[in-house]
Chains A and B, each alone.
Chain A
Amino acid sequence: MSTACLAMPLPSMDASRNEPADADLVRRSVAGDTRAFETLYRRHAGRVHGAVWRLSGMNAARAEELTQEAFVRAWQKLDSFRFESAFTTWLHRLAVNVALMELRSRDPEDAHEADVLEAAAEPVRPFCAGERGDLEQAVARLPPRARAVLILHDIEGWKHEEIGRELGMAVGSSKAQLHRARGLLRRMLGEHHD
């Protein structure tokens, strides 16, 4: 089921001195070398997947789709990559945008606070071991927009201005969404624990 939370670093991921730098792999990929792009995928899949997994509300199937979509987009847009920034930053940003694209176009179907809290009060389904489980679950149960703002601000470290621009909302709304998300989290976590 929720195997997505098991970190499974591939042996080849250990950055060895002999491995080519991202920039070289990007150049080879732009020239059409899919093997080079595969190496980039193996190196960065965890980070990309982690970001879209959180934004999708820890939905494993959706996160896999979004990860694939992000890498396909990256391949298509590689020639627009400017080498002054780190490839990992560029890729990460692109992946987040792919995940947000869905959010921007979707019907918010936003729930009342009471409904969110009621849903959160349902029995905790088995999740991966570890103390972060309850927080992750609470985040997953937030209404999509509030969750996106919370993740972008508190996990990805974005500014409200950026979030507002990306999600098509005023800065005030972004701040309020964050406030709301934290409030909901507090109440959800409070209900599970003391």
Chain B
Amino acid sequence: MTDFEIQRRLRDLRGPVEPSRDLWPGIATRLTAAAAPAVAPPRRRLPLALAAGVTLTALAGVLAIALQRQPVERPLAGTDPAILPGVGRVPLDQVPGGDPRLAGATLVIDSAQAQLEAALEQQPEAVFLVGLLNRTHAQRMKLERIGAQAG
């Protein structure tokens, strides 16, 4: 099947699909809770700025050094945070939980993402790079989860 045929068949999927049950009662309940739009102005929702995107840009400058191997043997739990890998090379407010123990990994991941993006610019048809990018992003989310338990 060619891309063209796939596109044509996908276009056929466009169009309405009715929900299997009436969703209105559920919506109506929540509307009363939310009050009328004119009476109570909608709560401002902050746009979800994806941290990765921001850090990527910020870190683009340190690409060359970024992927240097981290000292593997050195325990991260030293008492002096200044000696931890990555500390001083990545602003702590960009590190999950502001935790110096995660600075090295943050630096490694963020620059890996930037490098993958750059590689994709050169070779957009390299779908495996997208897979790597997505999985690297998953590692970043994992750091965020660990960092959320810091402090």
Let me know if chains A and B touch directly in the complex, using CB atoms closer than 8 Å: yes
Residues of A within 8 A of B (CB): 3-10, 29-32, 34, 37-38, 41-42, 45-47, 49-50, 53-54, 60, 63-64, 67-68, 71-72, 75-80, 101, 104-105, 107-110, 112-113, 132, 135-136, 139, 143, 145-146, 150-151, 154-156, 168-170, 172-173, 175-177, 179-180, 182-183, 185-186, 189-190
Given contacts A9-B18, A64-B23, contact A179 B124 (CB under 8 A): yes
The answer to whether A63 and B1 have CB atoms under 8 Å apart is no
User: Is B19 a contact partner of A75 (Cβ separation < 8 A)?
Assistant: no
Query: Can you show 18 pairs from A to B with CB atoms below 8 A apart?
Result: A4-B17, A31-B36, A34-B32, A38-B24, A45-B19, A68-B27, A72-B30, A76-B37, A77-B37, A79-B37, A104-B48, A110-B138, A113-B128, A170-B120, A172-B121, A173-B120, A179-B124, A186-B1
| Cβ contacts under 8 Å, B87 to chain A | none
**Given A10-B18, A32-B38, 4 additional A-B pairs, CB 8 A:** A64-B21, A113-B127, A154-B10, A172-B121
Which residues of chain A are near B134, meaning CB under 8 Å? 108, 110, 143, 145
The residue that B20 contacts in the complex, of A3, A29, A182, A185, with Cβ under 8 A, is: A3
- What 5 pairs between A and B have smallest CB-CB spacing? A46-B16, A32-B36, A110-B134, A180-B127, A50-B17
B148 within 8 A of A: no
Closest chain A CB from B126 CB (angstroms): 7
DSSP class of B's interface residues: helix, strand, loop or mixed?
helix
Please give the distance in Å from B109's CB to the nearest CB on chain A.
Answer: 13
Interface residues on B, range: 35 or more
Q: Are the CB atoms of A146 and B130 closer together than 8 Å?
A: yes
1/0 per position for B18-42, CB-CB distance to A under 8 A?
A: 1111011011101110101111011
Q: Give chain B residues whose Cβ lies under 8 Å from the Cβ of A3.
A: 20
Query: Is B75 located at the chain interface by the 8 A CB criterion?
Result: no
Find chain A residues with CB under 8 A from B27 CB: 41, 68, 71-72, 75
Indicate if the CB atoms of B37 and A49 lie closer than 8 Å: no
Answer whether A182 and B6 are a contact pair too, CB < 8 Å, given A6-B18, A7-B18, A79-B38. yes
Whether A154 touches B11, Cβ cut-off 8 Å, given contacts A76-B42, A79-B42, A104-B48, is: yes
| Cα A108 to Cα B13 with chains together (Å) | 25
Q: How far is the CA of A107 from the CA of B38 in the complex (A)?
A: 36
Q: Mark B108-143, 1 if CB is under 8 A from A, else 0.
A: 000000000100110011111111011101100110
How far is A172 from B87 in the complex, measured between Cα atoms in Å?
31
Complex: A122 Cα to B142 Cα, angstroms: 29
A34 smallest CB distance to B (angstroms): 6
Q: How far is the CA of A17 from the CA of B123 in the complex (A)?
A: 54
Q: Is the CB of B37 within 8 A of A50?
A: no
Minimum Cβ distance to chain A for residue B50 (Å): 4
- Is A180 in contact with B130, judged by CB distance below 8 angstroms? yes
Q: Does B53 contact A (CB under 8 A)?
A: yes
If A32-B37, A50-B16, A72-B31 touch, whether A154 touches B138 (CB-CB below 8 Å) is no
A60 to B117, alpha carbons, bound, how many Å?
A: 34
CB distance from A168 to the nearest CB of B (A): 4
Q: Are A185 and B48 in contact (CB under 8 A)?
A: no
